């Protein structure tokens, strides 16, 4: 467990809510009820201030100048990398690569590690509950290489079929890409167990942690995975930034993803010697302020306590599940016993899109649509769902407002 | 709630519940698929064209109340019209739903019952729901056979 997870914290919900200035406003004359954190979370004052302060006082390009500002900026950037290492429980800081987000992190692995490893007739294994960002890069790779994309099925609750997974891990499987938490269903996958099954057959594992990072303590060494990706903007940091953890032995063997400045040791027209990891994978000037913001976000999460956040959200999820069961004609999509943060549902009376519009008029923000997981929608034979997703700052009054608004939907479409 | 009532007028709710021409017309000779990637709405519009006139028209698919009602009322509105007139009606309809939300739409005698969609202009996110069937109808009439998209 990471150090953040070990500490126990008193969780002061009222205080947590106060730290998110955006929550204090009205929408259509009603108090804002924000239930779309799985799409992107809101930002605490600590993050907003850290980014503004950095731009005001310390900003310069990194890893270049000998002047003091550049040194300060470099220190702040590298301190964020160390914080990500701690957050993920990685052994070494050089195993952390900054990317534009989870999507770019997965594309990076597919385009380097994947491209070297996968050949004609090989197989890439994913699951039926993946986000498009953990489907399309592998589909593109398979198409390029003449390889086959195989898919592990899920059951009617949205639970991954581990027996089928074991069967599908075959002699030609070159990589397994699996989400830690499903964005459309909320299912938490038993990653450590899955990794053990894959490794027993010599298959490396990439974990899409975009939906897990805001909700639970992560330890990549305990999970045993080869790669782990997450996005800053879902864990209270700014958008446009994310991180990829990769085991050093993989990262060292992998070719670079993009060429350019920052990722080189020396360049002549005949040859380029690449920089050591992690810089080999960080071509060009990154989103420096964004990375500093991510560092501040993880500091906020650690100070608040991920275990306390998880406990609070779990109780709220149980409360929400119960409350929604009392709405006439409502069907939850995703009823796995182990879930995090997501209440996805359909109503008999109204299409998800109509639900979203009516809820908005009541000040309640939810996501409606296919959640970038069309295969999940197909699996449950629904065109779209409405999804209420929870974060540290949500409370029971948010759920109560959601339920009241859903009654309005039923009235209008009666 | 008043804006919501503007959007979800009784006529719209009625057409959503019991869509008209929800079928493949006999002798249909043109069709096109429409898809709204934002919300997953899918519609297929079938047209029976004879001498440049929409003799019959129907649709299939699934979508929200706005897109279903819009498809339903569209089929009623264009049936029997020459293609050029149907195209013009789409332009008027488009103007109606994308107009400035702060100004009342001008009375348009041609738009007829479709005026109930004026409330959509208050909800820019829903314009694509209202226009999906129309985009698809246009593809079907043009016979391009391409999937109509709202993006």
Please report the DSSP string for A222-263 in residue order.
HH--SEEEEEGGGTTS-TT-EEEEE-HHHHHHSPPSS-SSSS
For residue A8, is pLDDT > 90?
A: no
Q: Both A191 and A284 in a single domain?
A: yes
Q: Can you give the pLDDT at residue B144?
A: 57
Helix (H, G, I), strand (E, B) or coil at A110: helix
The pLDDT tens digits for A209-219 are 999 999 999 99
The pLDDT tens digits for B2-47 are 778 889 989 999 999 999 999 999 999 999 999 987 777 899 999 9
Question: ipTM of the predicted structure?
Answer: 0.85
Q: Can you give the pLDDT at residue A191?
A: 98
For residue B70, is pLDDT > 80?
A: yes
CA angle A157, A151, A166 (to 5 degrees): 85
Helix (H, G, I), strand (E, B) or coil at B55: strand
For residue B145, is pLDDT > 70?
A: no
B38 contacts A369? CB cut-off 8 A: yes
For residue A45, is pLDDT > 90?
A: yes
Flag whether residue B125 sits within 8 Å of chain A, measured between CB atoms.
yes
Is residue A190 very low, low, confident or very high in pLDDT (cuts 50, 70, 90)?
A: very high
Look-up: residue for tokens 């467990």? A1
Residues of chain B neighbouring A412 (CB-CB closer than 8 A): 4, 8, 13
| DSSP designation for A188 | B
Residues of chain B neighbouring A384 (CB-CB closer than 8 A): 39-40
B64 contacts A351? CB cut-off 8 A: yes
The pLDDT tens digits for A83-105 are 999 999 999 999 999 999 999 99
Find the CB nearest B65 among A354, A369, A408.
Answer: A354
Residue in chain A closest to B42 (alpha carbons) equals A383
Query: A372 catalytic, yes or no?
Result: yes
Closest Cα in chain B, distance from residue A326 (Å): 23
Burial category of A60 from C-beta neighbours within 10 Å (exposed 0-12, middle 13-18, buried 19 and up): middle
A412 contacts B39? CB cut-off 8 A: no
Q: Output the CA torsion sign for A289, A292, A298, A302.
A: negative
Q: Both A119 and A263 in a single domain?
A: yes
Closest Cα in chain B, distance from residue A370 (Å): 6
A357 contacts B125? CB cut-off 8 A: yes
Phi-psi category of residue B72: left, alpha or beta, with phi > 0 → left and psi -120 to 50 → alpha:
alpha
B123 contacts A353? CB cut-off 8 A: no
Q: Both A122 and A221 in a single domain?
A: yes
Q: Can you give the pLDDT at residue A1?
A: 42
Residue in chain B closest to A374 (alpha carbons) equals B40
Q: Both A273 and A340 in a single domain?
A: no
A374 contacts B65? CB cut-off 8 A: no
DSSP A21-90: GGGS-EETTEE-EE-BTTT-----HHHHHHHHHIIIII---SSS--SHHHHHHHHHHHHHHHHHHHHHT-
B123 contacts A412? CB cut-off 8 A: no
Residues of chain B neighbouring A383 (CB-CB closer than 8 A): 39-42, 62-63
d(CA A396, CA A402): 10
Percent of residues, chain A, with pLDDT higher than 70: 98
Q: Both A244 and A105 in a single domain?
A: yes
Residues of chain B neighbouring A361 (CB-CB closer than 8 A): 1, 3-4
Q: Both A27 and A91 in a single domain?
A: no
d(CA A356, CA A138): 32
Average pLDDT, chain A: 95
| DSSP designation for A111 | I
Out of A132-136, A331-335, A402-406, B35-39, least confident range: B35-39
Q: Can you give the pLDDT at residue B150?
A: 58
Q: Both A284 and A372 in a single domain?
A: no
Decide which of A302, A317, A350 is a domain's last residue.
Answer: A302
d(CA A177, CA A237): 25
Q: Both A169 and A117 in a single domain?
A: yes
Strand order in the sheet with A385-389: A330-332, A342-347, A385-389, A367-369
Q: Both A29 and A104 in a single domain?
A: no
Decide which of A268, A285, A302 is a domain's last residue.
Answer: A302
Q: Can you give the pLDDT at residue B125?
A: 87
Q: Both A369 and A405 in a single domain?
A: yes
Give the residue numbers spanning the domain of A98: 48-302
B40 contacts A361? CB cut-off 8 A: no
Helix (H, G, I), strand (E, B) or coil at B28: coil
DSSP A128-163: TT--GGGTHHHHHHHHHHT-EEEEE-B-TTS-B-HH
Q: Judge contact between B127 and B101, C-beta under 8 A.
A: no
Instruction: Mark which residues 90-119 of B lie under 8 Å from A by CB.
Output: none
Look-up: residue for tokens 């999509």? A333
Q: Can you give the pLDDT at residue B102?
A: 78
Q: Which CATH number fits domain B2-145: 3.40.710.10, 3.90.1010.10, 3.20.19.10, 1.10.3210.10?
A: 3.90.1010.10
Residue in chain A closest to B15 (alpha carbons) equals A413
d(CA A208, CA A12): 30
Where do the structural domains in chain B lie, given as residue ranges? 2-145
Q: Tokens representing A256?
A: 């670079």
Decide which of A270, A302, A334 is a domain's last residue.
Answer: A302
| Interface mutation vs chain B, best among A36, A39, A132, A351, most B CBs within 10 Å | A351
For residue A173, is pLDDT > 90?
A: yes
Distances, alpha carbon B53 to alpha carbons B58, B82, B85, in Å: 14, 4, 9
DSSP A359-390: HHHTTEE-EEE-TT-HHHHHHTT-S-EEEEE-
CATH number of residue A110's parent domain = 3.40.640.10
| DSSP designation for A266 | E
The pLDDT tens digits for B92-136 are 999 999 988 877 777 788 889 999 999 999 898 899 999 999 999
Q: Both A245 and A382 in a single domain?
A: no
Flag whether residue B84 sits within 8 Å of chain A, measured between CB atoms.
no
Out of A19-23, A37-41, A134-138, B110-114, least confident range: B110-114
Which chain A residues have any C-beta within 8 angstroms of a chain B C-beta? 28, 350-354, 357-358, 361, 368-370, 374, 377, 383-384, 408, 412-413
CATH number of residue A35's parent domain = 3.90.1150.10
The dihedral over CA atoms of A173, A175, A181, A187, expressed in degrees to the nearest 10, equals 0
Q: Output the CA torsion sign for A286, A214, A86, A251.
A: negative
B42 contacts A357? CB cut-off 8 A: no
B3 contacts A361? CB cut-off 8 A: yes
| Interface mutation vs chain B, best among A352, A353, A380, most B CBs within 10 Å | A353
Q: Both A335 and A295 in a single domain?
A: no
Catalytically annotated residue among A241, A372, A377, A399? A372
The pLDDT tens digits for A275-331 are 999 999 999 999 999 999 999 999 999 999 999 999 999 999 999 999 999 999 999
Specify the number of domains making up chain A. 2
């Amino acid at each position: 467990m990471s150090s953040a997870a070990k500490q126990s914290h008193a969780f002061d919900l009222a205080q947590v809510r106060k730290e998110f200035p955006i929550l204090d406003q009205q929408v259509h004359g009603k108090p804002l009820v924000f239930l779309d954190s799985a799409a992107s979370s809101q930002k605490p004052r600590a993050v907003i201030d850290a980014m503004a302060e950095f731009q005001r006082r310390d900003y310069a390009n990194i890893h270049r100048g000998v002047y003091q500002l550049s040194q300060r900026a470099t220190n702040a950037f590298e301190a964020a990398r160390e914080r990500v290492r701690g957050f993920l429980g990685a052994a070494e800081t050089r195993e952390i690569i900054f990317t534009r987000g989870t999507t770019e992190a997965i594309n990076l692995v597919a385009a380097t590690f994947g491209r070297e490893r996968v050949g004609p007739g090989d197989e890439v294994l994913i699951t039926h509950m993946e986000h498009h960002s953990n489907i399309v890069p592998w589909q593109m790779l398979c198409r390029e290489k003449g390889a086959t994309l195989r898919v592990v099925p899920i059951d009617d609750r949205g639970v991954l079929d581990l027996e089928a997974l074991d069967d599908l891990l075959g002699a030609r499987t070159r990589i397994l890409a699996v989400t830690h938490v499903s964005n459309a269903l909320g299912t938490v996958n038993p990653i450590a167990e899955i990794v053990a099954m894959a490794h027993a057959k010599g298959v490396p594992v990439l974990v899409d942690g975009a939906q897990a990072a805001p909700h639970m303590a992560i330890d990549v060494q305990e999970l045993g995975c080869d790669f782990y990706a997450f996005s800053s903007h879902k864990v209270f940091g700014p958008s446009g930034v994310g991180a990829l953890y990769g085991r050093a032995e993989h990262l060292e063997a992998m070719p670079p993803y993009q060429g350019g400045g920052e990722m080189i040791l020396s360049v002549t027209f005949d040859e380029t010697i690449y920089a050591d990891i992690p810089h080999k994978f960080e071509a060009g000037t990154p989103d420096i302020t964004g990375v500093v913001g991510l560092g501040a976000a993880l500091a906020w999460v650690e100070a608040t306590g991920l275990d306390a956040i998880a406990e609070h959200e779990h109780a709220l999820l149980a409360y929400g599940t119960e409350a929604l069961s009392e709405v006439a004609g409502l069907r939850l999509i995703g009823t796995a016993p182990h879930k995090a943060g997501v209440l996805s549902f359909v109503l008999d009376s109204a299409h998800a899109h109509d639900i979203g519009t009516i809820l908005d008029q009541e000040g309640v923000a939810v996501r409606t649509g296919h959640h970038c997981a069309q295969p999940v929608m197909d699996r449950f034979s629904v065109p779209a769902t409405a999804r209420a997703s929870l974060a540290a700052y949500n409370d029971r009054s948010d759920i109560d407002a959601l339920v009241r608004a859903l009654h309005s939907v039923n009235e209008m479409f009666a | 709630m008043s804006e919501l009532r503007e959007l979800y007028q009784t006529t719209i709710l009625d057409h959503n519940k019991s869509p008209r021409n929800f079928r493949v017309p006999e002798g249909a000779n043109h069709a096109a698929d429409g898809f709204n990637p934002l919300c997953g709405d899918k519609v297929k519009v079938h047209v029976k064209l004879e001498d440049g006139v929409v003799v019959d028209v129907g649709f299939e698919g699934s979508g929200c109340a706005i897109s279903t009602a819009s498809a339903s009322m569209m089929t009623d509105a264009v049936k029997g019209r020459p293609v050029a007139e149907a195209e013009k009606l789409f332009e008027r309809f488009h103007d109606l739903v994308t107009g400035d939300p702060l100004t009342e739409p001008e009375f348009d005698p041609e738009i007829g019952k479709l005026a109930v969609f004026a409330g959509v202009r208050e909800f820019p996110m829903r314009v694509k729901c209202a226009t999906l069937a129309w985009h698809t109808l246009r593809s079907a009439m043009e016979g391009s056979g391409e999937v109509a998209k709202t993006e």
